[in-house]
Amino acid sequence: MDRYIDITLMPDPEFETQQLLNALFSKLHRAMNEAAPGKIGVSFPKVGKRLGDQLRIHGDQESLSALMAMPWLQGMRDYCEVADIMPVPGKVAYRTVRRVQAKSAHNKRMRSIRKGWLTEKQAFERIPETRQKELKLPFIQMKSLSNGNPMRVYIDHGPLSENPSEGEFNSYGLSAQATIPWF
């Protein structure tokens, strides 16, 4: 994980930055597994309440070159600036960038009924909508590749560490174990 590519979204009067980031991330998600499964990570250097206007893609030279040789940015080039593959600076911190999922009250009820733990009436009494855990993390809005339904990928940038941690990245470029360089 010694190289990175910065992709910065340019302001556009027709589209909000978040819409462009959603589209960019969806295209990246589809291409990553083909280029280098498990070897490419992502981060959002300008993260705050929202993920910001910059996507950083992390990997080694071979993985990033394979990704950028693919036409995955087609249709997005007018909306972003894509930097060259660059080496990671010398002294950096590390952090995980992971997906966080919260099960909905509806899904908890359906599972409890399906498993026979609760009747439908009991499930609605014991698992009300108010038990729905609300995540206060920035997210990407995408369409599920499996069923086409809209979904949110909530993203948590973990605490900073002085040491890197090895591991694989999922199809979103996220991992709860593997760290990315943070600078």
Whole-prediction pTM: 0.84
What residue numbers bound the domain in which 73 lies?
3-92+161-182
pLDDT band at residue 140 using 50, 70 and 90 as cut-offs: very high
Give the model's pLDDT for residue 162.
95
The mean pLDDT value for 94-104 works out to 89
65-79, 98-112, 151-165: which range is least confident on average? Answer: 98-112
Give the model's pLDDT for residue 107.
75
Ramachandran region of residue 167, left (φ > 0), alpha (ψ -120 to 50) or beta?
Answer: left
Catalytic residue, from 29, 58, 106, 157: name it: 29
**How distant, in Å, are the alpha carbons of 113, 160, 167 from that of 40?**
39, 19, 11
Is residue 29 part of the annotated active site? The answer reads yes
The mean pLDDT value for 159-182 works out to 96
Q: Where are the alpha helices (DSSP H) in the chain?
A: 17-35, 61-68, 105-114, 120-126
Whether 32 maps to a domain, the answer reads yes
Whether 176 maps to a domain, the answer reads yes
User: Which residues lie below 8 Å from residue 138, measured CB to CB, with a gap of 6+?
Assistant: 44, 47, 48, 49, 50, 51, 154, 155
- Residue 1 in 3-state DSSP? coil
Give the model's pLDDT for residue 132.
58
Give the model's pLDDT for residue 136.
86
Whether 121 maps to a domain, the answer reads no
The mean pLDDT value for 47-74 works out to 96
Which tokens sit at 107?
A: 């899904």
The pLDDT mean for the chain works out to 92
The mean pLDDT value for 108-118 works out to 86
Whether 173 maps to a domain, the answer reads yes
User: Structurally, how many domains does the chain consist of?
Assistant: 1
Whether 69 maps to a domain, the answer reads yes
Rounded Cα distance, 53 and 21, in Å: 7
Cα-flanking dihedrals φ and ψ of residue 23, to 5°? -65, -45
**Residue recorded with tokens 């409890």:** 112
- Residue 151 in 3-state DSSP? strand
- Residue 93 in 3-state DSSP? strand
Give the model's pLDDT for residue 158.
96
Q: Is residue 111 pLDDT above 70, yes or no?
A: yes
